[in-house]
Amino acid sequence: MYLKLWSLPAGEALFEGQSNWVQVETYPAYRIAEPELESASLQLREALGESLSKEVGKRSRVLKLLRAIMERHIEEIQSLNPTAIYIGSARGELEELSRAVERHLRGEKLSPLTSPETSMGTLSSMVARRLGIGGPAVTISQTCLSGLLALYEASLFIRAGEGETVLFGAVEAPLAPFFVEAMAALRLYTRAGVYPFTRPGNPERANTFALGEGVALGVVAKKRISPYRLIQIRSRTAKVSSHIAYTAVDQASLIDFLSEMGSAPDFVILHAPGTRQGDAAEWEAIARLWGEIPVLSIKSFIGHSLGAAPLLGLAAALYLMEQKRWYSSPWATLWPSIPPSKWEEAIVIGLGYGGVMGAIRIAHES
């Protein structure tokens, strides 16, 4: 199978996001700039129907993000004629949901848009209606693995003989103040006062996690629609271990899982979100299995976009293979700072709460 992928942020912006960082309460977070969203002109009447089209883009941040990426590439997506859609999101529409709860507690009347805007199912059905996709429209929510599982399910749909071309994607807008505070309560959130706010692999091995927004849409197909071939995509769940916290990485299970991905790739896009235990466990598993190969985490540039993170990591891998360019992270001394010697194959890793693990192996064919 082959795939195409579009994202926000995209290309070089995946590695140079300094200007997009904002403060949410007292915490830094990566937010996609408004001009990037407003440049897309979605005809919401076609997507949701006239009665729901007037305000939905103003309220729902995740629908704004999906609108922007879809409208930028709608002609190319429609030309590939996908017959089903799988969208991943760990948290869905948090900002409008939290505002609606506040309005309810104040005794205010809620908008009729509140329910459809904050439904996870709307993420896939809205896109399906806009694009005229009549097959399954499925939203998948499984922590930080959600986007990877969207591609996983899309590939299974094709392997099952249900279709030959499927749309997949992920979206995350987790910057609602209450949720930022919830993540800070885990005692993982960065307190750095200057960019880069999050520093995966930092020498102090301090927790420097930070949230970010992101969206990606792609098409996977049996025929060759691009030079990028999906060699392998897998997902597993770590077995329960009494000494491993629910939010931590089980290194032994990760080693077993990554061994299923075959020989060492040319480089790896890490999950590494800037957490002391997680970054170390992931790198040590890779080093034990494949040796000291080139690795990179893009979360220092754009934060952690939860369910969208694996597909933004995939977008980064495709861009690096296309450009044959490497971005160094001088603070990441936990792993060696070496560029790839070849640009033919990459692995993208995704990890999530509860021991969920996933990996994508992609090849660039000339």
The span from the CA of 282 to the CA of 286, in Å, is: 6
Backbone angles phi, psi at 248, to 5 degrees: -95, 170
Q: DSSP states of 73-132 as a string?
A: THHHHHHT----EEEE-SS-BHHHHHHHHHHHHTTPPPPTTHHHHH-THHHHHHHHHHHT
Query: Could you give all domains of the chain from N- to C-terminal order, each with its CATH number?
Result: 2-227 (3.40.47.10), 229-364 (3.40.47.10)
pLDDT in tens, 304-333: 999 999 999 999 999 999 999 999 888 899
- Under 8 Å between Cβ of 300 and 138: no
**How many Å is the maximal CA-CA distance in the chain?**
62
Residue 330, judged by CB atoms within 10 A of its CB (0-12, 13-18, 19+), counts as exposed
Q: What is the pLDDT of residue 231?
A: 98
Amino acid identity of residue 260, one-letter, is: E
**pLDDT level of residue 203 (50, 70, 90 thresholds):** confident
Is the bond preceding 28 in cis, omega lying within 30 degrees of 0?
no
pLDDT in tens, 224-281: 999 999 999 999 999 877 566 666 688 899 999 999 999 999 999 999 999 999 999 9
Residue 205 banded pLDDT, cuts 50, 70, 90: confident
d(C-alpha 208, C-alpha 188), whole Å: 6
At 162-200, the pLDDT tens digits run 999 999 999 999 999 999 999 999 999 999 999 999 999
Distance CA 161, CA 61 (A): 35
Inter-residue contact 362 to 267 (CB < 8 Å): no
